[in-house]
Structure 1
Amino acid sequence: MVRSAELCGTGLTSLAGGRLVAREQVNALTAYIDGSQIYGSSVELARHLRAKSSPDRGLLKTNIVDGREYLPLSEEHPMDCQLQPRSGGGGGKGSGSGSGAGGLMDCFLAGDHRANEHIGLLVMHNLWLRQHNRLAQELRRLHPDWNGERLYQETKLIVGAQLQLITYRDWLPKIIGKRAMTRLLGPYRGYNASIDASISNVFATAAMRFGHTLVRSELVRKLLMRKKEKTTVSAGVSSSGNQTKAHHQKDDHPNMNLRALFFASHLLYEPALVDSLLIGLAATPLKRPGLAEQAISAELTEHLFERSREAPLDLASLNIQRGRDHALPTYNSWRRFCGLKEAATFEELPIGNSSTTVRRKLARLYGSTENLDLWVGGILEEIIPEEDGSLPKVGATFRCLLSEQFRRLRDGDRHWFEAEGIFTPNQRAELERSTSLAEIVCANSDGGRAADSQFPVDAFLLPNDEGNPLVNCASLPKLDLSKW
Structure 2
Amino acid sequence: MQQQQMNAITSFIDGSVVYGSGPKVNNLLRDLCGLNGKLTVNEHFKDPKGRPYLPFEESLQSVCLHGEENVACFRAGDSRVNEGLPLTSLHLLWLRQHNQIAETLKHLNGHWNAETIYEETRKIIGALHQIITMRDYVPKIIGKEFFDNYIGPYGGYDPTVDPSASNVFATAAFRFGHATISPVVRRLNASYQEHESFPSLKLHETFFSPWRIIKEGGIDPIVRGALGTQAAAPHSNKLLTDELTERLIVLSIPQDMDLASLNLQRGRDHGLPGYNDWRDFCGLERIRTLEDFKQVVSDASVAERILQLYKHPDNIDIWLGGLVETFSPGSRTGPMFSCLIAKQMKALRDGDRFWWEADGMFSQEQRDELLKVSLSKIICENTDITEVPPDAFIFGKYPSGYVSCNNLPAMNLEAWREEKSEDLKRCGSPGQIENGDYVLFKIAGKLVALYSCYHGFKLTGNALIACEGNQWNNKFPHCEGIF
Identity of aligned residues (%): 41
Correspondence for 2:333 among 385, 388, 394: 394
Q: Residue 287 of structure 1 is aligned with which of 205, 227, 232? A: 232
Is 1:232 paired with 2:188? no
Larger Rg: 2
* Secondary structure, aligned partner of 1:126: helix
- Residues 186-335 of structure 1 correspond to what in structure 2 (within 5 A)? 186-218=152-184, 220=185, 223-224=186-187, 226-227=188-189, 232-233=191-192, 250-251=197-198, 254=199, 256-289=201-234, 291-305=235-249, 310-335=254-279
Counterpart CA distance in 1 for 2:312 and 2:10 is: 37
Counterpart of 2:220 in structure 1: which amino acid? D
C-alpha distance in 2 between matches for 1:186 and 1:400: 13
1:376 maps to 320
Pairwise mapping of residues 379-458 of structure 1 onto structure 2 (< 5 A)? 379-385=323-329, 391-432=330-371, 434-445=372-383, 447-448=384-385, 453-458=386-391
Tell me the alpha carbon deviations over residues 43-66 of structure 1, each in whole angstroms, 9 at most, x when there is no partner. 1111111002302x1000101424
Q: Tell me if 1:461 matches 2:408.
A: no
> Matched residues in 2 for 1:188 and 1:410: separation?
8
Partner SS for 2:8:
coil
Count of residues in Structure 1 that have an aligned counterpart in Structure 2: 412
TM-score, normalised by the number of residues in structure 1: 0.81
Matches within 5 A, 1:60-209: 60-64=39-43, 65-66=45-46, 67-76=50-59, 94=62, 100-102=66-68, 105-209=71-175
Q: Distance in 2 between matches of 1:371 and 1:363?
A: 9
Q: Is the 8 A contact 1:205 1:319 kept in 2?
A: yes
Q: 2:404 aligns with which of 472, 475, 479?
A: 472
The correspondence for 1:41, drawn from 11, 15, 21, is 21
> Does the CA contact (< 8 Å) of 1:350 and 1:382 recur in 2?
no
8 Å contact kept, 2:12–2:163? yes
1:353, distance to aligned residue in structure 2 (A): 6.5
> In proportion to residue count, which structure has more strand?
2
Unaligned runs of 5+ in 2: 417-483
Partner of 1:346: 290
CA contact (8 A) 2:11 2:165 kept: yes
For residues 206 and 58 of structure 1, what CA distance do their matches in structure 2 show?
A: 37
Deviations 1:34-86 (A, max 9, x none): 0000001001111111002302x10001014243201111104xxxxxxxxxx
Structure 2 counterpart of 1:63, one-letter code = N
Looking at structure 2, the residues matched to 435 and 376 of structure 1 have their Cα atoms a distance apart, in angstroms, of 36
Distance 2:171 2:101 in 1: 35
SS at 1:196 equivalent: coil
Change (3 A) 1:399 1:470: same
Secondary structure of 2:388's match? strand
Q: How much is the aligned-residue C-alpha RMSD, in angstroms?
A: 2.3
CA contact (8 A) 2:377 2:409 kept: yes
Residue 461 of structure 1 aligns with an amino acid whose one-letter code is I
CA contact (8 A) 1:383 1:392 kept: yes
Q: How does 1:24-35 map to 2 (within 5 A)?
A: 24-35=4-15
- Displacement, 1:120? 1.3
TM-score by length of 2: 0.81
Tell me by how many angstroms 1:102 deviates: 4.3
- After superposition, the Cα gap between the structure-2 partners of 1:354 and 1:471, relative to the gap in structure 1 and judged at 3 Å, is closer
| Structure 1 unmatched ranges of 5 or more | 1-20, 77-91, 235-245, 386-390
In terms of fraction of residues, the more helix-rich structure is 1
Distance 2:252 2:405 in 1: 38
Q: Residue 373 of structure 2 contacts residue 411 of structure 2 at CA under 8 Å; is this kept in 1?
A: yes
